[in-house]
Chain A
Amino acid sequence: MSEISPATVDEVTLHAFRPPRILYYLVMLGLSGGIAAALGSWIYQKQMGMGVAGISYPVGWAVYIGNFVFWVGIAHSGTLISAILHLLRARWRTAVSRSAEAMTIFAVATAGLFPLIHLGRVWVVYYIIPYPSTRHLWPNFISPLVWDVLAVGTYFTVSVIFFYVGLIPDVAAARDRLVTQNTWRYKLCRTLALGWIGSGHQWLTHGRSFLYFAALATPLVVSVHSVVSWDFAMSMLSGWHTTIYAPYFVAGAIHSGLAMVLTLLIPMRRLLNLEKVITPQHFQAIALTMLATGSIVGYAYLVEPGIAWYSGSVFERQFVEWRAQGWFAFAYWTLPVLNVLVPATFILKPARESLSWLFAASILVNIGMWVERVHIVASATAHDYLPHTWSHYAPTWVEITITIGSFCFFFFLFFLFSRVLPPVAMSDTKEDNIFQKEFPPKRKHRRGARRIHRRDTGATAVFDSPEKLVKAVDALNQSPFDRFDYFSPMRIKELERITRRKHSPVRYWTFFGAIAGVIGGFALAIGAAKVNSLVVGGKPPVSIVPYCIVGFEGFILLGSISNLIGLLIHARLLTFQMPLWYNHRFSHDQFGVFAPIPAESVEEFARAVSVAEPLEVRYVG
């Protein structure tokens, strides 16, 4: 990846804050129209009853649930890029991670609407929330629908926290750039930044916390789409009940999500002038990842009907034949073409390098994956064990309007985000550029960089490069000044090595939160089952196998929440008062050290850091 200076990263990213062109408003107006039409259709559906939608016996689940699965799937690539690739240390993720995370949140929000739209009596949706009702009725934790609520709820919460934690240093940078203009955007960024000053302590805690979020989000993303797939796989229908569904759905989800990342980023890069930050290499890396996910999807396309045929069951075999030859066959044969063969072209370098083909292919894959979801949901119910119930399904205008409206809703939120918040992970991109840097050898004495207080008075020294900062910290380590902290616009791991940095205590927060979550999850499920001890669906009231899902979601949810609490406490966030000695360029392109020393020691301090050639040394009292 090409190297760009920290100042350029800020400039390019915050360029998105300039007043948009008229076209932007027109697009947003069009999208609002789509949302309004969908809202109107939904109100109409509520007034007239579910009959106005195309779902009727035996096809009880169709486009709405298909949309739900599709949107949850779109969400997954964001977590893949921000969490899984973070753990795998794939450096290319930094430029695209912010947009992908935002996409995750908006996609989960869109997905969450569909079960509500699908409900006839949406006003009783709270029945599914586990709370002790006056009738002593608890949700049945053996039901996949309850798992769904837990998984998607956890996913939304964790995604929002994850997105926000990654955003904090960047909104702080935006705040410091906008400090001269007292606009609504400055106030927003100031509030969201929670008093971030980019000190060494904050970077250490933030880095560890982010790592634990990534470690928790990675299994979460797998669990969420697995749970969604089990909505189907737990049933007894041919075409739904198969063991491969969980990994197949997860791979398909990431596949469609990556396609959506391409669909969104290729035009956004052009419109927001982000060419310097988001390069064609990023798109090539996404294309290669899609090659892998497309292969897994293709594997499932082969194995699923293969095993259905292998089983020798007459029901399974007739279903496979019907799917390939019946009235829904056109959809069935579209899937391997759009979802496997189209991304398979990425194996050729010219196909990966052509942005126009990547864009076209991403749209084709999006279409293919949407058709796949609807096909899975509607085909199995239309053709079950009893021939006299076999039926057809076609969506009505209400369903189509609401589906189009959901796309409008998603794009509306995404376009809004791209203008309101920094669309590129600035601090990560800056860190990425110094990743390969070799710092000069340093002594091993580990001193200094102790915690300082915002009200302290003392001397600051400002530098213009990370190398000089490292040199200065090294020099201070040898000097009598043993209490100081450093500031930088990005995390510099080298500094953590040479200063007396212990592991951040957020790991204990995360660990004990997660343990409490898993115990709490099992306790909730077992306790709720014990209230009435009912045998439901032939299952014993206390069934440990499905309760693992409840325990797991508790593990992730409480682990993430307590990680966030640990971060807020140990990074001294939520303190909005900025220190007097804070330099607004510390979040932009300059680096500094601050030592709380009396005025008479400033000269000595300046001598100590002079080897690093500071731009300025100042006393603030």
Chain B
Amino acid sequence: MSDNQDNKQGRRLGVLRRMGAAFGLGFAVSRAVGAAKKTRREKKHGALSQFGSMLGRLPELVAAYLAASELQHAGLDQLPRSEEAGPVTGARVEVSIAGPEWVVPGKHTEKLTNREPEKPAGSPGALEPELDRVERPRRPYWPWVWAVMFLVGVLGWILTVLFGAADRAWQAVLVNFLYFTPMATGMVTWTAVVTASRGTWMGETKSAGLMGISFWPASLVGFAWAWIGWPHWAGWIHYSDLENTGWVNTPFIFVRDAICLIAIWLVAWLYVRQARQDTPRPLAGGLILIYCLGFSLLGFDLVMTLDPHWGSSLFGGYFFVSGMYIGLAAWTLLAIVRQPSAHLTPVADLAKLLVAFSILTTYMMYAQLLPIWYENLPDEVRYVIPRLQITPWRWVSVALLALIYLGPLVFLLPRRVKKSVRYVGAASALILAVMWFERYWLVAPTLGRPLVFGFPEIFATAVFTGAFLFPISLRNRRLPIVTVRRRDGP
């Protein structure tokens, strides 16, 4: 190893140590602030705790508005408040009522008042509105964890760009954009799909799906961010003999994709607004349509065009179907994390959808592979050969086949597994993790990059993960959950 390389490595290690220290410090500060906040409640004195409490109040203030509007939509601002446990705002409320069906929050209070007088309390089958418990959010520090993750990610990513891994760092931004944007919009679109097909099983999971909308600013910024670094990943710039420059030229690609992305988020936002107000016919069909068309275009432009000599008419279809698959896994996981009890979450339905979408994604992959394999034309197999015949990507392909294409069919097949929150949660977490590598596998071999998962990838993923989960956790800890429990009677 040359001296130069030694120096570089030494410098990198130094950077890493500093970053580790920064991360540790950040974590320590966040814990201290949390502890100070707790201390203030108990003792109400001390300058540090005052400062900590101010900081601690910030997310609460931001979220108060969100929670208030949510309560208004849910018709719950009139619910009784428990004196000992603090106000309902900012708490996780579980209302348990004997009843045969799921009731959406908006209709909930109405149902209580209508039904209560029918039977005397205590008699079999009587509907007893009881506030099971009003408690503080169990993990109020999660928004902080995601915020710190985001900041550390940004810092680390900048360092990786500065210290020689620029190509990989920018590529990681693209991969994460291609992973998180279809995921967040996919979560919202899934609720639209269920609404449009007149499904009534969503219950409280609907609000978990709608939370995907909070990613919109990060998605747009993420796109702009990827755009800034286009020379590091835009594969089409290396070809001068293109026949289709009218379509494949950098400004046109980014302008049309930006318009497309804004249109997707705009429709999603309009849909979410209607869906939260329980509008009887929200913009569900429009959202589904724009999701399919929009992510087809983004898939064609940002993935297929990386090798502009390769074209597959099904690629857009594959891209949006697999995006819906990621969105479904994220929706399932979030619904389970928010409400981890089997009888409250339609977990079996979500598991069945996961199986169906794993098969559909596999089908789209196979329908693309088979004609290309069969014809064996040079312009077509150039996409397949690096992934199927060249190590280490071929092992990635095998792992994808085992874990996300056919895997869910096998491990979610038993009925008991489909009904278990733990197993379905684990399966969706696994799918989410492996689908990140699927996005990576779509991009990196085309650009001739090696299979490395190191700091550039970790930091970029941390930025997007933080940006995705921070608003969700903020909202989640403010959002009361109202559920109607199935009970067979006393």
| B243 with A244: CB separation less than 8 A | no
Which residues from A are CB-within-8-Å of B247?
Answer: 310
- Residue B296 interfacial (CB < 8 Å): yes
| B244 with A247: CB separation less than 8 A | no
| B488 with A442: CB separation less than 8 A | yes
Which residues from B are CB-within-8-Å of A300?
Answer: 313
Which residues from A are CB-within-8-Å of B317?
Answer: 244, 247, 299, 303
Contact check: which of B248, B313, B376 meets A243 at CB < 8 Å? B313
Closest to B289 in A: A295
**How far, in whole Å, are A219 and B364 apart by their CA atoms in the complex?**
13
Closest to B490 in A: A441
- Residue A138 interfacial (CB < 8 Å): no
Known: A241-B371, A546-B370. A444 touches B311 (CB 8 A): no
Which residues from A are CB-within-8-Å of B366?
Answer: 548
Closest to A144 in B: B374
- Residue A480 interfacial (CB < 8 Å): no
Known: A310-B311, A311-B311, A503-B415. A247 touches B370 (CB 8 A): no
Contact check: which of A233, A234, A442, A548 meets B489 at CB < 8 Å? A442
**A-B CB contact pairs (8 Å), 30 listed:** A219-B363, A226-B367, A230-B371, A233-B371, A234-B375, A236-B375, A241-B375, A242-B314, A243-B312, A243-B313, A243-B368, A245-B367, A245-B371, A246-B363, A247-B314, A247-B363, A299-B292, A299-B293, A299-B296, A299-B317, A300-B313, A303-B317, A304-B313, A307-B313, A309-B244, A311-B311, A440-B125, A441-B488, A442-B489, A444-B488
Which residues from B are CB-within-8-Å of A222?
Answer: 363
| B374 with A546: CB separation less than 8 A | yes
- Residue B197 interfacial (CB < 8 Å): yes
Q: How far, in Å, is B235 (CB) from chain A's closest CB?
A: 15
| B296 with A303: CB separation less than 8 A | yes
Which residues from B are CB-within-8-Å of A236?
Answer: 375, 377
Instruction: Give B199-211 as 1s and 0s: 1 = Cβ < 8 Å from A's Cβ atoms.
Output: 1000000000000
**How far, in whole Å, are A219 and B244 apart by their CA atoms in the complex?**
37
Which residues from A are CB-within-8-Å of B368?
Answer: 243
| A312 with B313: CB separation less than 8 A | no
- Residue A90 interfacial (CB < 8 Å): yes
**How far, in whole Å, are A247 and B371 apart by their CA atoms in the complex?**
13
| B243 with A243: CB separation less than 8 A | no
- Residue A545 interfacial (CB < 8 Å): yes
Known: A307-B311, A440-B125. A234 touches B374 (CB 8 A): yes
Which A310-336 residues sit within 8 Å CB-CB of chain B? 310-313
Given contacts A89-B199, A244-B314, 18 further A-B contacts (CB under 8 A): A226-B363, A226-B367, A236-B375, A243-B315, A246-B363, A246-B367, A299-B296, A303-B296, A303-B317, A307-B313, A310-B244, A438-B100, A441-B490, A442-B488, A444-B488, A503-B415, A546-B370, A546-B374
- Residue A387 interfacial (CB < 8 Å): no
**How far, in whole Å, are A299 and B311 apart by their CA atoms in the complex?**
17
Which residues from B are CB-within-8-Å of A536?
Answer: none
Which residues from B are CB-within-8-Å of A244?
Answer: 312-314, 317
| B489 with A441: CB separation less than 8 A | yes
- Residue A23 interfacial (CB < 8 Å): no
| B370 with A307: CB separation less than 8 A | no
Q: How far, in Å, is A250 (CB) from chain B's closest CB?
A: 9
- Residue B242 interfacial (CB < 8 Å): yes
Which residues from A are CB-within-8-Å of B289?
Answer: 295
Q: How far, in Å, is A493 (CB) from chain B's closest CB?
A: 13
- Residue A538 interfacial (CB < 8 Å): yes
Which residues from B are CB-within-8-Å of A299?
Answer: 292-293, 296, 317
**How far, in whole Å, are A441 and B123 apart by their CA atoms in the complex?**
11
Q: How far, in Å, is B266 (CB) from chain A's closest CB?
A: 20
Which A431-488 residues sit within 8 Å CB-CB of chain B? 438, 440-442, 444
- Residue B359 interfacial (CB < 8 Å): yes
| B488 with A242: CB separation less than 8 A | no
Q: How far, in Å, is B311 (CB) from chain A's closest CB?
A: 5
**How far, in whole Å, are A219 and B489 apart by their CA atoms in the complex?**
40
Which B331-382 residues sit within 8 Å CB-CB of chain A? 352, 359, 363-364, 366-377, 379
- Residue B105 interfacial (CB < 8 Å): no
- Residue A26 interfacial (CB < 8 Å): no
Instruction: Give B295-324 as 1s and 0s: 1 = Cβ < 8 Å from A's Cβ atoms.
Output: 010000000000001011111110000000
- Residue B87 interfacial (CB < 8 Å): no
- Residue A124 interfacial (CB < 8 Å): no
Which residues from A are CB-within-8-Å of B197?
Answer: 88, 90
Instruction: Give A599-611 as 1s and 0s: 1 = Cβ < 8 Å from B's Cβ atoms.
Output: 0000000000000
Q: How far, in Å, is B294 (CB) from chain A's closest CB?
A: 12
**How far, in whole Å, are A581 and B292 apart by their CA atoms in the complex?**
58
**How far, in whole Å, are A311 and B307 apart by their CA atoms in the complex?**
11
Known: A244-B317, A441-B124. A545 touches B369 (CB 8 A): yes
Known: A295-B289, A310-B244, A312-B244. A303 touches B313 (CB 8 A): yes
Most B Cβ at <10 Å: residue of A89, A244, A538: A244
- The size of the chain A interface, using a CB distance under 8 A, is 41
**How far, in whole Å, are A181 and B154 apart by their CA atoms in the complex?**
83
Closest to B310 in A: A311
Q: How far, in Å, is B385 (CB) from chain A's closest CB?
A: 13
Contact check: which of A89, A243, A295, A306 meets B314 at CB < 8 Å? A243
Q: How far, in Å, is A254 (CB) from chain B's closest CB?
A: 14
Which residues from A are CB-within-8-Å of B490?
Answer: 441
**How far, in whole Å, are A309 and B243 apart by their CA atoms in the complex?**
9
**How far, in whole Å, are A611 and B59 apart by their CA atoms in the complex?**
60
Q: How far, in Å, is B282 (CB) from chain A's closest CB?
A: 15
Instruction: Give A202-234 as 1s and 0s: 1 = Cβ < 8 Å from B's Cβ atoms.
Output: 000000000000000001001000100010011
| A219 with B359: CB separation less than 8 A | yes
Q: How far, in Å, is B366 (CB) from chain A's closest CB?
A: 7
Closest to A289 in B: B197
Which residues from A are CB-within-8-Å of B364?
Answer: 247
**How far, in whole Å, are A230 and B372 apart by their CA atoms in the complex?**
11
Most B Cβ at <10 Å: residue of A303, A313, A503: A303
Instruction: Give A85-112 as 1s and 0s: 1 = Cβ < 8 Å from B's Cβ atoms.
Output: 0011110000000000000000000000
Which residues from B are CB-within-8-Å of A230?
Answer: 370-371
Which B160-207 residues sit within 8 Å CB-CB of chain A? 197-199
Which A545-568 residues sit within 8 Å CB-CB of chain B? 545-546, 548
**How far, in whole Å, are A189 and B411 apart by their CA atoms in the complex?**
42
Q: How far, in Å, is A503 (CB) from chain B's closest CB?
A: 7
**How far, in whole Å, are A295 and B372 apart by their CA atoms in the complex?**
26
**How far, in whole Å, are A306 and B248 apart by their CA atoms in the complex?**
13
Which residues from A are CB-within-8-Å of B373?
Answer: 545-546
Which A484-508 residues sit within 8 Å CB-CB of chain B? 503
Contact check: which of B242, B316, B367 meets A303 at CB < 8 Å? B316
4 nearest CB pairs, A to B:
A312-B243, A441-B489, A244-B313, A246-B367
Q: How far, in Å, is B295 (CB) from chain A's closest CB?
A: 12
Which residues from B are CB-within-8-Å of A444?
Answer: 488
Most B Cβ at <10 Å: residue of A236, A313, A440, A441: A441
**How far, in whole Å, are A313 and B380 apart by their CA atoms in the complex?**
12
Closest to A311 in B: B311
| B367 with A243: CB separation less than 8 A | yes
Closest to A300 in B: B313
Which residues from A are CB-within-8-Å of B369?
Answer: 545
**How far, in whole Å, are A538 and B374 apart by their CA atoms in the complex?**
9
Which residues from A are CB-within-8-Å of B488?
Answer: 441-442, 444
Instruction: Give B119-135 as 1s and 0s: 1 = Cβ < 8 Å from A's Cβ atoms.
Output: 00000110000000000
Which residues from B are CB-within-8-Å of A548?
Answer: 366
Which residues from A are CB-within-8-Å of B379?
Answer: 311, 313
Q: How far, in Å, is A63 (CB) from chain B's closest CB?
A: 25
Q: How far, in Å, is A144 (CB) from chain B's closest CB?
A: 8
Closest to A245 in B: B371
Which residues from A are CB-within-8-Å of B311?
Answer: 307, 310-311
Which residues from A are CB-within-8-Å of B415?
Answer: 503
Known: A90-B197, A295-B289, A503-B415. A307 touches B312 (CB 8 A): yes
Closest to A232 in B: B371
Q: How far, in Å, is B218 (CB) from chain A's closest CB?
A: 29
